[in-house]
A and B are shown apart, each in its own frame.
Chain A
Amino acid sequence: RPHSRPRHPGARTMLPLLLLLLPTAHAIVELTYTPVLTQTPPLEGLTTTSTFVLDQPRCVFGGYDNADIWLVVALDKAASTFNNTAEPGTLETSFQGFPDPVSAYMTLNATLANYPCPKPAGDITVLRVGSETSCAKDETRPTCNGPLPGPGPYRVKFLALQGSEPVAETKWSDPIMLRTAKSPNSISTTDSGHSAGMIAITTILSILFAILLAGLVAMLVFWGSESCGGSSTFSKPESVTVRRYNTHHVYDQPAARL
């Protein structure tokens, strides 16, 4: 088959021929795997404001037992211009220089032994990009997995290096956007409506109070006036009234009053 790229990574006899062709052709295998954010189990912290969580590349780099598998994190716009020959641990790919002037850094060094295949069922196999805060400012640790400096978007891919030669890579992931945090001043607390209960209480009580005040006023205005007295007045049980008087025997008064 007239193809300059070998289909079988294990075909080591092809390697010397490939090395000759290196200046004119891509020597590394592009695997069909695309790095993705973890879908199962559903994670609350899948993307935060400075980290995100990827699935580990299990059963992807089969046969590359001696290779170092690196994660390349790049700005979305710089993904297409990333050079696979870039070496990890140098200034050009250091995390501390990201995003300016470094536009793609390499981190999370691992070997195939870290990603055994097949994945045991029930295990959560993830990579949290951005979890190392202790080395974020440490220039002596250029491969630090430090927290991402902005919301992105970012693209990632896995790159397998043998020695310092890239031998395999995955596809670039879809752009990953991180969360952006708003200021709490944007929360509006003044817009709470009034519930039906509160309106009912206010109106009914106001009406009742108004009626009572009117009644009190009526009482005071008609105090002393007999116009409402009328037919059904009743007398107090013990105190003296001057209503009925008897010109005759005083001793009969008590009996007559009752």
Chain B
Amino acid sequence: MAKSDDCVHILQGLLVFGNVVIGMCGIALTAECIYFVSNPHGLYPLLKATENNDIYAAAWIGIFVGLALFALSILGIIGVIKASRTLLLVYIILMLITFAFEMASCITAATHRDSLTPSFFLKQMLERYQKSETANNSDNEVTKTWDELMLQNHCCGVQGPSDWQEYTSAFRLTHSDADYPWPRKCCVLDAQGLPVNLDGCKLGVPGYYNSNGCYDAISGPVNTHAWGVAWFGFAILCWTFCVLLGTMFYWSRIEY
């Protein structure tokens, strides 16, 4: 009897501890996903423009899953302490539903991160940057985002200024190659936003233009976002798996 009681208490203690960790991780997941959804690096327009913003959908799901995990962990703690079969059954079923949603979020984030290759951004930039007579707003957003990006990170194009030479683009339709081998934002600009040396920039003299591509500046935050949602969610789910198995075992041992 005493040994069985000890085992019971140990199991209960472990399950309560497991649920506490789940609750805290749920809050952390919600906070992390809110941070990503708030678009801190200003890259959302680039992803929205091609309807490839599933990484943001994954983050939105993450917010609600985090809150659900927190609520369910409290339910789990109550159910374990009260040793109530119905409460624990409800807990297990709701947790499985939450598990399924979080699984979807992780896989979505990971899969769509894989599709954000340099070619993807290159094609979008060539087709939309400075596209004239544009009726929809998203192209203006793309142009503004790229301008900001090139200004802040001192970069040009996706892989370099030669992107503008190797491919025709919407930009090329309105700006002649001789006057604008690449956009003016690729030049080194002074405090007023004018090129320091326009001829040097057009020729491509080192020091008067930005020679490196912007892909690193884009892929850094996008990677952090995607892997943050995917791997943290994965870790939470592994822990939740263990806690759920323990809860199922505990449930099967309760007298009714």
Task: Give residues in A with beta carbon < 8 Å to B.
Answer: 41-46, 48-51, 53, 124, 126, 128, 130-133, 146-147, 179, 181-184, 186-189, 192-195, 197-198, 201-202, 204-206, 208-209, 211-213, 215-216, 218-219, 222, 224, 228-229, 232-237, 241, 243
Residues A234 and B123 in contact in the complex (CB < 8 Å), given A202-B110, A208-B241, A215-B248:
no
The reply to whether B119 and A188 contact each other, CB–CB distance below 8 Å, is yes
The reply to whether B92 and A219 contact each other, CB–CB distance below 8 Å, is yes
* A216 proximity list for chain B (CB < 8 A): 92-93, 96, 248
| Residues 94-119 (chain B) with a chain A CB within 8 angstroms | 96, 99-100, 103, 106-107, 110-111, 113-115, 117, 119
The 10 closest A-B pairs by CB, nearest first: A44-B204, A45-B204, A198-B110, A147-B178, A184-B126, A187-B123, A181-B168, A43-B204, A50-B177, A208-B241
Please tell me if B39 contacts chain A, counting CB pairs below 8 Å: no
Distance, CA A53 to CA B251, complexed state (A): 80
Closest chain A CB from B11 CB (angstroms): 9
Distance, CA A228 to CA B248, complexed state (A): 13
The reply to whether B202 and A45 contact each other, CB–CB distance below 8 Å, is yes
Given contacts A42-B206, A44-B209, A197-B110, 18 further A-B contacts (CB under 8 A): A43-B204, A45-B203, A124-B205, A184-B169, A187-B126, A189-B119, A197-B231, A198-B110, A198-B230, A205-B234, A208-B241, A211-B241, A213-B96, A215-B248, A219-B92, A233-B255, A234-B4, A234-B8
Residues A187 and B96 in contact in the complex (CB < 8 Å), given A197-B230, A212-B244:
no
Interface of A is mostly: loop
The reply to whether B168 and A182 contact each other, CB–CB distance below 8 Å, is yes
Please tell me if B136 contacts chain A, counting CB pairs below 8 Å: no
Q: Which chain B residue lies CB-closest to A146? A: B178
The reply to whether B106 and A201 contact each other, CB–CB distance below 8 Å, is yes
The reply to whether A219 and B167 contact each other, CB–CB distance below 8 Å, is no
Number of interface residues of B (CB under 8 A): 66
Closest chain B CB from A223 CB (angstroms): 9
Distance, CA A128 to CA B168, complexed state (A): 22
Distance, CA A146 to CA B115, complexed state (A): 42
Which of B17-25, B61-69, B143-151, B158-166 faces chain A? Answer: B158-166
Residues A219 and B251 in contact in the complex (CB < 8 Å), given A182-B167, A188-B119:
yes
Closest chain A CB from B79 CB (angstroms): 12
The reply to whether A181 and B167 contact each other, CB–CB distance below 8 Å, is yes
* B244 proximity list for chain A (CB < 8 A): 212, 215
The reply to whether A209 and B204 contact each other, CB–CB distance below 8 Å, is no
* A208 proximity list for chain B (CB < 8 A): 237-238, 241
Distance, CA A63 to CA B166, complexed state (A): 43
Distance, CA A174 to CA B161, complexed state (A): 26
Most buried by B among A44, A222, A237: A44
Closest chain A CB from B90 CB (angstroms): 12
Distance, CA A229 to CA B230, complexed state (A): 39
Q: Which chain A residue lies CB-closest to B172? A: A181
Please tell me if B253 contacts chain A, counting CB pairs below 8 Å: yes
* B209 proximity list for chain A (CB < 8 A): 44
* A124 proximity list for chain B (CB < 8 A): 200, 203, 205
Please tell me if B245 contacts chain A, counting CB pairs below 8 Å: yes
Closest chain B CB from A228 CB (angstroms): 6
Distance, CA A179 to CA B117, complexed state (A): 25
Closest chain B CB from A144 CB (angstroms): 12
Distance, CA A205 to CA B252, complexed state (A): 24
Distance, CA A215 to CA B211, complexed state (A): 58
The reply to whether B178 and A48 contact each other, CB–CB distance below 8 Å, is yes
Please tell me if B83 contacts chain A, counting CB pairs below 8 Å: yes
- Among B83, B211, B230, B238, the residue within 8 A (CB) of A44 is B211
The reply to whether B205 and A41 contact each other, CB–CB distance below 8 Å, is yes
Closest chain B CB from A226 CB (angstroms): 10
The reply to whether B178 and A51 contact each other, CB–CB distance below 8 Å, is yes
The reply to whether A44 and B162 contact each other, CB–CB distance below 8 Å, is yes
Q: Which chain B residue lies CB-closest to A180? A: B166
Distance, CA A133 to CA B178, complexed state (A): 7
